[in-house]
Amino acid sequence: MVETERETRDNVSEIELEEEFEFYQAKKAEWLGKYKDKFVLIKGRELIDVYASFEDAYKEGVKRYGIQPFFIKQVTEIESIEETPSLTLGIIHANL
């Protein structure tokens, strides 16, 4: 099976963000004491900064990294699962 350019780009993004996710998981217990309910901006294995809102973290991520992947996560004890039904059902498409 031949991967399309988009599939290849999506797989690379997943691999890159896997590193950030693993870093977050390794630091989560420590960060719960310091940054509970705040949003962390992570690039690679580096905590860039901590923000009060997702929007502030996102703006800084775009400012610093443009279209490169970066990771934003709210530091919480219980992980919530968010779904976007319109994307899941194919009603809209997220082409970057």
Residue-wise pLDDT tens digits, 46-83: 999 999 999 999 999 999 999 999 999 999 998 876 66
For residues 31, 35, 36, 37, the Cα torsion angle rounded to the nearest 10 degrees is: -130
The residue type at 4: T
pLDDT in tens, 31-47: 999 999 999 999 999 99
Task: Report the pLDDT value the prediction gives residue 4, as an integer from 0 to 100.
Answer: 40
pTM of structure:
0.69
Residue 10, Ramachandran bin (φ over 0: left; ψ between -120 and 50: alpha; else beta): alpha
Domain ranges of the chain: 5-88
Half-sphere exposure of 15 (CA within 13 A, CB side): 6
